[in-house]
Amino acid sequence: MNSGAFFGPLAAFLLILALIPAALWLLKRTPMGGAASGQGLRLVGALALAPNQRIVTIEVGSGDDRRWLVLGVTPAGISSLHSLPPQAETPTSGATLPLFAQLLQRHKRDSSPGSVDAR
């Protein structure tokens, strides 16, 4: 058997194995456009509809070219629901929690082990 017939494919295989980590290292360090590097893309808000379904609002672009995109996110894919100009954001605080969240927090606080029930 010819030794070149064995070592040629083996050398090619070893070269490919050596190139895989090099390619992954290069991909980690090379920005792939503005969106992939996190520039010009910002999460504005998210609402969970089900364990694997969400509606998210993201801001894309910068300056006068900014837009808000409302997206539906499911395991099957992402679909655009609406596009609108950027809105004035309202700061979220504990006082603006929905009624159910306020009641749940009050119940947790009242039923903590150190609290005394006055009823």
pLDDT at 85: 87
Taking residue 27's Cβ as centre, other Cβ atoms within 10 Å add up to: 9
Token representation of residue 78? 């992402």
41-45: average pLDDT:
85
* Domains of the chain by residue range: 1-30, 38-88
50: pLDDT confidence band, cut at 50, 70 and 90? Answer: confident
Least confident of 13-17, 69-73, 91-95: 91-95
> In this structure, what DSSP letter does residue 103 have?
H
Q: Of the candidates 110, 111, 46, which has an alpha carbon nearest to the alpha carbon of residue 78?
A: 46
33: pLDDT confidence band, cut at 50, 70 and 90? Answer: very low
Q: What is the side-by-side strand order in the sheet with 77-84?
A: 41-50, 53-60, 67-74, 77-84
Token representation of residue 60? 């894309």
pTM over 0.85: no
| Helix, strand, coil abundance in the chain, percent, nearest 5 | 40, 30, 30
